[in-house]
Amino acid sequence: MVFLHFFGFGDSLRLFELEQQTGLWVRGFRPLQLDGLLQWSQRVAGQQHWDGDALQHQVMRLWVERSDQISRWQAGLRQLPDDQVLVAGLGSQGDWSRHWERMLRV
């Protein structure tokens, strides 16, 4: 199973560093739009040989379930400097387990 998580706002220049530190697929979104999120997740799914259909359904379900929060993030992005993005991470269950284990060791 693949999981998508929104970390919050961050500096677009640090995305590569965050990806290296976490072992996850990380992307910054500005603006935050469903089409962009779906395109990115499908590209990663193809590269990782994940089930693209299942991931697409998960992304769409998350978009609907968290619509209020997504609206707040979209509004927040309009107020932040241009170098700030909404950071999302994508990874398998194993990727996330390793990420959280590393976080606990820090």
Nearest 5°: phi and psi at 91?
A: -170, 165
User: What CA–CA distance (Å, rounded) separates 16 from 106?
Assistant: 20
Range of the domain at 59: 2-105
Please state the domain count of the chain: 1
**pLDDT tens-place values along the chain, 106 residues long:** 899 999 999 998 889 988 888 889 999 999 999 999 999 999 999 999 999 999 999 999 999 999 999 999 999 999 999 999 999 999 998 887 887 888 788 6
Beta bridge partners of 28: 87
Instruction: Name which of 10, 13, 4, 80 is nearest 36 in CA terms.
Output: 4
**Amino acid at site 99:** H
Instruction: For 62-104, give the DSSP string.
Output: HHHHTHHHHHHHHHHHHHS-TTEEEEEEEEEHHHHHHHHHHHH
Residue 28 DSSP code: E
